[in-house]
Structure 1
Amino acid sequence: MLKKYFLISLSIFVLSCKDSPGVEDVQKIIDTSIEVAGGELYKTSNISFRFRDIDYVLEHQKGTRALMRMQYTDSGTVTDIKKGNSFERMLNEERVSVTDSMATVYGNSVNSVHYFALLPYGLNDPAV
C-alpha cells in the first residue's frame, strides 16, 4: 500500500516538473499582443474613452503625448492635462493653480488610468 502511494506521489512530482517559459517566450507573447491590439497605431492615434463617468483623452501633439481627464461638476468642467512631467488643471478653460505635491498626485492618477486602458501597450516600457 505504501509502495502504491509512493509511486503515485513520484509520478505527480515527475509530471509537474517541466520547463517554465523562457524570457524570450514571454517577450514574444507581449510583442504579439501589442501588435494584435493595434501595434504602431498606439504611437499616433488620438484615443478617447469614458471610465466611471469621467472622460479621458489621449492626443498626440507635435511629437508629445497629452493625457487629459475631464470631469463635469456643478462648478463647470475640470480638465487635468499631463504632458511628460508637467501637469496643469483647468476650470472652464482657465488655468487653476495646483500645489506641486497635488500636481504629482493628479498627474499620476491621470497617467495610471490611461496606462491600464491602453494595455497591452506599455508593457515594454522600462518602468514595467
Structure 2
Amino acid sequence: MKPIFLILLIISISACKEQKPAEDLSSSVIIDNAIEKAGGNILDTAIVSFRFRNLFYRARRDNGLYELERCTDAACKDTLDQLTNSDFKRFINEKQIKLADSLIAGLSGSVNSVHYFSVLPYGLDAEAVQAKKIGVDTINGKTYYEVHVSFAEDGGGEDFEDEYMYWFNTENFEVDYLAYNYHVNEGGTRFREAINPRIVNGVRFVDYINYEPETTFPPLEDLDSLFQAGKLKELSRIILEDVQVN
C-alpha cells in the first residue's frame, strides 16, 4: 500500500503547484484570460453593430485598426459620426461637413465611450493601459479580483485622467462589476452592475445598471461595499439592443 500512497501524494502535490491561488495571478494574466473568454480573438477582426438609446452603432476592427460609427438612422444617411485611428469625421446626408476643433473632442469622446463599454473587457490590454491588481474581494457571495486601471497620457485618449476599477470573477474571469471616476462636465463617479449576459456569435455582451454614490470621488475600491450596503443610487440602465457580430 505504501507505493500507492506515495504516488497519490506526489500527484496531489503536483496538482497544488499547477493551480495557482487567486492571490498569485497578475493583473495582466487576469485581463488576458477575461478578454479570451469573452471572445476577444473574434473581436479582433469583426464588425459589431447594435442600437443604444435610439442611435445606431457599428464598429469595424481589423487587428488594431478600427472604424467606430454612430448614426441617427439605420442606413447611416442622415447623420453619421465616424472615428478611426487617424481622425474624426461627421457626415450629413452622406456629405462630410467641416467641424470646429472644439466640437471634435467631445463628439469623438462620446462615440468612443459607447463602443468602449460595449465590448469590455476587450481593449484592457492596450499599451496605454496601466493595470494594477488591488486584491481579492467578495460581492454577494462570489469572489472577485479587483483590478485598478489608469491610462498613460501618450495613447490614453482625451480622457486619459479617468480611472477605473474592475471586478473579475475568480472562477470564469467575467467582469460582473466596474466603477470609474471621470472628469468631463465637472466629473463624477459611477458603479456599474452587469446584467443580461448573452453570447452573440462567440462574443459575450452585457447590459448595465448604472449607479452613483452619495459622496464625490470616493475610493473606487470602496464602491463594492457601498453597493452591497444599498448606499448607491440607480441613475440609468445601459441596454444594448439588436446586437450583431459578423
Normalising by the smaller structure, the TM-score range is: 0.7 to 0.9
Cα 1:63–1:71 change in 2 (3 A) is same
Aligned to 1:119: 120
Q: CA deviation at 1:23?
A: 6.0
- Whole-angstrom CA distance in 2 between matches of 1:60 and 1:21: 34
Structure having the larger proportion of residues in helix: 1
**Runs of 5+ unmatched residues, structure 1:** 1-19
Aligned to 2:35: 34
- Whole-angstrom CA distance in 1 between matches of 2:64 and 2:41: 14
Q: How does 1:77-96 map to 2 (within 5 A)?
A: 77-96=78-97
Cα 1:36–1:61 change in 2 (3 A) is closer
Q: CA deviation at 1:85?
A: 3.6
Aligned to 1:59: 60
* Matched letter for residue 97 of structure 1: K
- Whole-angstrom CA distance in 2 between matches of 1:94 and 1:30: 40
Aligned partners of 2:67 and 2:84 also within 8 Å:
yes
Aligned to 1:21: 23
Q: CA deviation at 1:92?
A: 1.3
Aligned to 2:240: none
Deviations 1:25-48, CA, capped at 9 Å, x for gaps = x32221111111112111100110
- Whole-angstrom CA distance in 1 between matches of 2:113 and 2:25: 26
Structure with bigger gyration radius: 1
Percent of residue pairs bearing the same amino acid type: 38
Q: CA deviation at 1:21?
A: 3.0
Q: How does 1:90-105 map to 2 (within 5 A)?
A: 90-105=91-106
SS of the residue 1:21 aligns to: helix
- Whole-angstrom CA distance in 2 between matches of 1:32 and 1:107: 29
Structure having the larger proportion of residues in strand: 2
Q: How many residues align?
A: 106
Q: Indicate the RMSD between aligned Cα atoms, in angstroms.
A: 2.4
**Runs of 5+ unmatched residues, structure 2:** 1-21, 130-246
